[in-house]
Structure 1
């Protein structure tokens, strides 16, 4: 029985479910990929493609588990007493409250947890609908609010611990060696082993209910997971290691990407005569447009990696003490100057985009050449201008993020308080040879995909859980139908919407994450992403929604502390993140409860 008279509630609930998934992609997924983009291991556009693929893969294969907790773990199904319309309205209000809060925060580049935003909104709606006594505040067999909010403090700590352990292993095995580049190349299959094992384990052991793999005997689970991880490690040893060896050790600049299929034959491939002139990307964080993005370094040299440029671009700083003594940006680093420099940087980007020959160039030129005229919007000349601007605004909204300069926005602007603060943070981080970091740039693509898989497995439940309840109540007319499995098509639709959010608006969160917390490099980024991915997948196996944003932030801080000093982490930024996480709980919960209370108690006529 379809509740046709409540179709409008279903339509509104669907809209807010899509909006919540979009905001999740723009906020949480962008934070996950900020590490890879910050480390310069992958471009923003490549992150969009890989993020879309692995977010959907994780959501479809494992995502249904955390959705069950959102659906039935916070507000017991029995509390609705079979009233399907009220159940639909409750989860619609929860989605409206959570998506509105996250959207506002994303617009203002304030990073919050979409997971805890929705959970808090569901709890607030539950209080307004069935009373505080009916809401599962306790553990509830690992599905209540007590279990979920335990992850608020545990997840970042656990993630930071995993990431720190992995990075310290890299330092011991690779960075402190006399020939670190060789050690980096030959130990890279370890990451393939770990990534393949944890992804396979998350799918096979209590993964997607439709696959039925959890009912298999223990020997099958062990064989499948270890076989997948070991097989992936073996393939990397046969094809990836020879390819990277030729590219990094032999410095063969004539190597083409497709040549990885030659495998061990690449070991016999002679190095080119001009191998010493090969250009290796420079992974140092810069703050000025004039800094070079490429450098030629020896794999065994490291003494010149601790040098950083000041805002003047000509003095070298090699010790934190010298930075403190210089006290960067004391006189010119006022708030007015900072805002002006940010505006100038944005103007330069817009001027560059207007020169583009593609759709984004046309759109930016149209907006620039057709400003709104004097008077109100309904003036005839303004209506004609608006007719030209609307198509251009749509194109800019869809493509602006793909052309945004993430690195310039992340590094801070030289000569400002933010730039000076990040200069000090970067100076306390040890720098490693570019050849070593270049090796880990390949590895980080793998770890980023693993982290994206983990995010899709966990965070898709935020949006699909309430939407599945709304759909089942509307399509069957029964509140008890919410216990049915989540339809596969809903997981696919929302994971695709999540990817759209990442592509079109993720830059607004990326620009305040990554290098704004601590110094990033591919070897550090690989450790951060792997530590966060392991933590998220562990929580997913126990059906506990956890903030992937908190996990990657905890991993970032953990790796930053491996520099041996607190000064290598920007705790001002971490404090702002912590404040936003804590504020999300009462704000989203109160907003959801108020919206639901207004609907339930609104005047109505028979």
Structure 2
């Protein structure tokens, strides 16, 4: 060792240099980490394009189908990032599921729903809003569907970035409408269908909120506010789980299994009633055994609602995959068919590879980008526990059944988030009611100031206003964006 190498000052300089390298490595890792998700997403989009090239073959229109497959994959990723939070958010917010467990269950159930029962609503999305015969040529129809797909994906991507759970169905509907108007004028739009969709902006969240609040009132009045909570839970929890089982059986029969078998409303209700009664009878001894040794307090009740909440989240994900995969693959399936046959007025046949792109895209989007919206829905709007989250999940299933019975179009996003709002606003009302009751019983008790009462609100008003604003502008924003994209495509292609 030389004298210079043994000099303590030389060693100090070396330590400082190594420390700088360490900090540089940490900073590089910190900066690059946010790029991992988009990088994996880009690889998936490229693979979707390669799959389209492989299955569609080398034809004159293969490039169009490859581009459409990439856009369909991009849309599926955004559906996974935004829409799936509505099913898993309440369970995660209530601590019934970890984030990793929620993502694992959702990935399996969303993919299963899309591949087993998906595709029933594809024709409605692709052709129920704009009359195909209003398009002059197949190429114009293809450009319109491509513009709709890209505009919807961009809008949902923006909504996810700002933390607003929006309806992906409404995004696609707005995209199809805007491109159709740009291509064929306002007369091409089925305004009756659009009027029903606009009505669902109000109907979905209000109905979901009222049903969720109603079940929370039932749980509070029949279980939580009873002197012996455990004894009350042994009576009511089996009934509530039976209602949940019956509601989800009818929900899945109506919305999730149409591809396998055609079930009408009376048959679905009978299936739900039979399964609900069976689950109620099975759960009586299960809840009695599960409640043994529990203390007579609210925290003990959370144990009894944990498993039903996890099951409900899984079933909601299956039904969501079956229904909302159409938002990604409907325009893509229409483009593939029009490119193959030059026909765009016939019924749409969905190739298996198109469904696989939709199913895997939703799963990848959830895995890579879903946690942000899951946290928003599960804990940032209002505080959830297993009882409240159970009410949200149950309201989603029942609202869809009621809406189907009435023939009303509804949004699963609006229902689930409306249920969260309903639970939060009911808690505010119930807290105010109990304060007034206590004040009447004890007038000398200290009352809260107006400022203190505003601070104690149980629903975050900033999130509430952001989400409502995003809901209202989703269809017009997607429509305007789609119209602009359509004109750009026409200008670039010269067709």
Aligned match for 1:573, one of 463, 477, 480: 463
SS in 1 for 2:60: helix
Matched, 1:235 2:282: yes
Aligned match for 1:558, one of 422, 442, 445: 422
Superposition deviation, residue 28 in structure 1: 1.3
- Per the alignment, residue 224 of structure 2 pairs with 175
- Per the alignment, residue 149 of structure 1 pairs with 198
1:207 touches 1:541 (CA, 8 Å); kept in 2? Answer: no
- Per the alignment, residue 438 of structure 2 pairs with none
Matched, 1:40 2:87: no
Superposition deviation, residue 61 in structure 1: 5.6
1:94 touches 1:121 (CA, 8 Å); kept in 2? Answer: yes
- Per the alignment, residue 315 of structure 1 pairs with none
Q: List aligned pairs for 1:588-603, cutoff 5 A.
A: 588-602=478-492
Matched, 1:518 2:408: no
SS in 2 for 1:554: helix
1:147 touches 1:544 (CA, 8 Å); kept in 2? Answer: yes
Runs of 5+ consecutive residues of structure 2 not aligned to the other structure: 1-55, 433-453
Superposition deviation, residue 106 in structure 1: 1.8
Query: Whole-Å Cα distance in 2 between the matches of residues 35 and 209 of structure 1?
Result: 27
- Per the alignment, residue 110 of structure 2 pairs with 55
The Cα offsets for residues 23-74 of structure 1, whole Å up to 9 and x where unpaired, read as 1111111233111111111111111122123323444565434323211111
2:76 touches 2:361 (CA, 8 Å); kept in 1? Answer: yes
Change (3 A) 1:196 1:2: same
Aligned match for 1:115, one of 148, 152, 169: 169
Aligned match for 1:160, one of 184, 204, 209: 209
- Per the alignment, residue 411 of structure 2 pairs with 547
2:76 touches 2:359 (CA, 8 Å); kept in 1? Answer: yes
SS in 2 for 1:518: coil
- Per the alignment, residue 438 of structure 1 pairs with 303
Change (3 A) 1:205 1:106: closer
Normalised TM-score (structure 1): 0.63
Change (3 A) 1:205 1:553: closer
- Per the alignment, residue 403 of structure 1 pairs with none
Aligned match for 2:296, one of 300, 306, 309: 300
Matched, 1:22 2:77: yes
Q: List aligned pairs for 1:401-550, cutoff 5 A.
A: 433-481=298-346, 483-487=347-351, 490-539=354-403, 546-550=410-414
Choose 128-137 or 444-453, whichever is displaced more.
444-453
1:54 touches 1:453 (CA, 8 Å); kept in 2? Answer: yes
Superposition deviation, residue 226 in structure 1: 2.5
Q: Comparing both structures, which one devotes a greater share of its residues to helix?
A: 2
Query: Whole-Å Cα distance in 2 between the matches of residues 221 and 111 of structure 1?
Result: 30
Superposition deviation, residue 559 in structure 1: 1.1
Query: Whole-Å Cα distance in 2 between the matches of residues 34 and 536 of structure 1?
Result: 19
- Per the alignment, residue 11 of structure 2 pairs with none
Query: Whole-Å Cα distance in 2 between the matches of residues 27 and 232 of structure 1?
Result: 32
RMSD of aligned Cα (Å): 2.8
Query: Whole-Å Cα distance in 2 between the matches of residues 556 and 452 of structure 1?
Result: 17
- Per the alignment, residue 15 of structure 2 pairs with none
Change (3 A) 1:70 1:594: same
- Per the alignment, residue 368 of structure 1 pairs with none
Aligned match for 1:212, one of 261, 275, 284: 261
Normalised TM-score (structure 2): 0.76
Query: Whole-Å Cα distance in 1 between the matches of residues 351 and 234 of structure 2?
Result: 43
Query: Whole-Å Cα distance in 1 between the matches of residues 411 and 277 of structure 2?
Result: 30
SS in 2 for 1:601: helix
Superposition deviation, residue 497 in structure 1: 1.8
1:36 touches 1:445 (CA, 8 Å); kept in 2? Answer: yes
Superposition deviation, residue 487 in structure 1: 4.8
Aligned match for 1:131, one of 160, 164, 185: 185
Count of aligned residue pairs for this structure pair: 414
Change (3 A) 1:103 1:221: closer
Aligned match for 1:200, one of 249, 266, 276: 249
Change (3 A) 1:68 1:179: farther
The Cα offsets for residues 228-247 of structure 1, whole Å up to 9 and x where unpaired, read as 33333333345x425523xx
Query: Whole-Å Cα distance in 1 between the matches of residues 183 and 395 of structure 2?
Result: 39
Query: Whole-Å Cα distance in 1 between the matches of residues 289 and 79 of structure 2?
Result: 37
Change (3 A) 1:203 1:524: closer
Superposition deviation, residue 452 in structure 1: 2.3
Matched, 1:8 2:63: yes
